[in-house]
Structure 1
Amino acid sequence: MKRYTMRHAWLDLIGYAFLIGGSFILAKLCVAIVQNRMQESFSWDGLNVNAATILGVLLSLSMLAVVTRQEKKSSLWEFSGFRRIGMRQTGLFIGLGMLLSLMFGYILQLDILGQLAVSHERKVTSELTSGSILIVWMTAGVLAPLLEEIMLRGIVLRTLRHVYSLATAVVAQAILFALLHTHPFQMAYAFLLGLLFAWAALRAKSLWASVLMHIAFNSTTILIIHAIREYESAELLVGSTILAILLIGTGLFPASKKPQGKAL
């Protein structure tokens, strides 16, 4: 792999940041132009955020794929560290993501954070009601986590490891992940999640681990919370917790070895 100097590493990361930022700005402009043509009166407050996010993610991934192919001479998936993982590991990391989301939900229900928890709940509620639940899930539950993992646990972490210690690289990408979230409570737990997602990717030696864990976390937050509010049933919360524990247990339980018969 390319041997980085500290200067080259940070120049690379700044370039990737501008590329992704530019992709999202272009996506918002495209969606705004379309909405302006379709509506008699258009304001930026009425911008379709979900459409802009989906287009921004797709543009970002396309641009990253072109850059890594041209500059790094490898595909985006190879450069980011995607490696095949087994079914048991898949269940483990999905279960961990689900359980983490449910644990944060339990903490919020305890009302120990006061007004901070209330403002966070309002923010989540406004995001959930910003469009169809399926669109919100596809946007915030799948596409956004995929892009964040490729950028942070893939490109940023792997690049910083060339010039810093592993611990420094892991903490740095977690800080960057926290800064992407604007709410104070989100920033706090995003930093912790950034550390855990990095642990998952490093433990499995594959970015698929952190991608699955991140998607499971966001999807559980979106779908389970929406279902609980819609049907007002605590059984969904209990059932989801049991499912998460079973998935984790399946992933941690050692695989049985078939007894070897005697050779004839």
Structure 2
Amino acid sequence: MEQKMTASSFTYALILALIFIPFFVDTYAADTLRKFVDHDLSHGLLMGLILTCLIIFFLIFGVIKKQSLQWASLGLKKMHTSQWLFVFKWTLINIFLGILYVVLLELTGIGSSNTKTESLQNEGIMMFVLAFLSAAVLSPIYEELFYRGFIYTWLRQRLTLYPSLIISAAIFTLVHIPTYNTLPINFISGIIFAWVYERTGSIISSMIVHASFNGLAVILTFLLG
């Protein structure tokens, strides 16, 4: 029988994601870093690196080592060859829904731009590469391990499929505040990422879907800006 992750670790994860990061890291730490790095995109990339280290540190010492688990417990295992078509299909679906959402935002006059996209549009190729690595490599790795590998798995060990999908996606959406114009697509993507992970059993699958979506978004923002 699969070892259940503890309730205390889930509580700490929620405190980390919903309280410590938004009210300390994204405010105090971000303001402190701003004194040394005033360039918007560079500041954002460094903050992303800090979040990556913080989340991975929690997963290693608050989950893996503390509960004597393996990384496979968070879904870090090989995908079967037969699953690639399924992953490719949901990658395309996620991208299509993302494009459709952006079109709807533009048609309704809300707009899809935010401070991150506006900053990227004014940068050169080197900053584009760094932004791409951050969005399409770092973010999918730590976010999928945390929100699907840990949060979704913890919920799934206790709840049925649909509540687990919805609750994990809701948590994933909340952490994207205050970028309010992306929240609906964050929720939809959160469900898709969790569903892909559910079906394949490998967190690598949701990382691929996530990375493809983010990577394409960065490329289009840079080229069309």
Q: Give the TM-score normalised by structure 1.
A: 0.67
Counterpart selection for 1:135 from 123, 127, 130: 130
Cα displacement string for residues 41-81 of structure 1 (whole angstroms, at most 9, x for unaligned residues): x7798981211211320232133112223222023x22211
Q: CA deviation at 1:19?
A: 4.5
Native 8 Å contact 1:145 1:214 kept in 2: yes
Deviations 1:88-125 (A, max 9, x none): 53464246325532443255346664122x1x224552
**1:210 maps to which residue?**
206
The within-5 A match list for 1:20-39 is: 25=24, 36=35
- Alignment correspondent of 2:162: 167
SS for the counterpart of 1:121 is coil
1:104 paired residue among 98, 104, 108: 98
Count of aligned pairs: 218
The RMSD of aligned alpha carbons is 3.4
Deviation of 1:26 after TM superposition, in Å, equals: 6.2
Distance, in Å, in 1 between the alignment partners of 2:153 and 2:52 is 21
Q: Distance in 2 between matches of 1:3 and 1:88?
A: 28
Q: Does 1:86 align with 2:86?
A: no
Structure 2 match to 1:186: 182
SS of the equivalent of 1:71 reads coil
Query: Could you tell me how far apart the structure 1 residues matched to 2:114 and 2:27 are?
Result: 24
Q: Is the CA contact (8 Å cut-off) linking 1:152 and 1:173 kept in structure 2?
A: yes
Structure 1 residue identity aligned to 2:54: L
Sort the Cα spacing of 1:95 and 1:63 in 2 relative to 1 into closer, same or farther, 3 A.
same
Query: Deviation string for 1:162-209 (max 9, x for gaps)?
Result: 322222111110111121223444111211111111110111121111
- Structure 1 residues 211, 12: closer, same or farther in 2, change over 3 A? same
Q: Partners in 1 of 2:198 and 2:16 — Cα distance?
A: 26
Of the two, which has the highest radius of gyration? 1
One-letter code aligned to 2:195: W
Distance (Å, rounded) in 2 between the aligned partners of 1:46 and 1:217: 20
Say if 2:75 and 2:149, in contact at 8 Å, map to a contact too: yes
Per-residue displacement from partner, 1:196-235 (whole Å, max 9, x unpaired)?
11110111121111111111111111113423x16xxxxx
Report the TM-score, using the length of structure 2 for normalisation: 0.78
In the alignment, which residue of structure 2 is the partner of 1:15?
Answer: 12
Answer whether contact 2:91 2:209 (CA < 8 A) is retained. Answer: yes
Q: Is the 8 A contact 2:77 2:202 kept in 1?
A: yes
Residue in 2 that maps onto 1:114:
108
Alignment partners' CA distance in 1, 2:115 and 2:30: 23
Aligned-pair distance for 1:15? 0.7
User: What stretches of structure 1 of length at least 5 have no aligned partner?
Assistant: 231-264
**Identity rate, percent:** 17
From 118, 142, 147, the counterpart of 1:126 = 118
* Equivalent position of 1:262 in the other structure: none
Q: Is the 8 A contact 2:40 2:119 kept in 1?
A: no
**1:23/1:74 CA distance change after superposition, 3 Å:** farther
Distance 1:204 1:30, change over 3 A: same
Alpha-carbon spacing, 1:127–1:146, altered in 2? closer, same or farther (3 Å): farther
Farther-moved stretch of structure 1 (208-217 vs 185-194): 185-194
- The residue type paired with residue 223 of structure 1 is I
Distance 1:114 1:168, change over 3 A: same
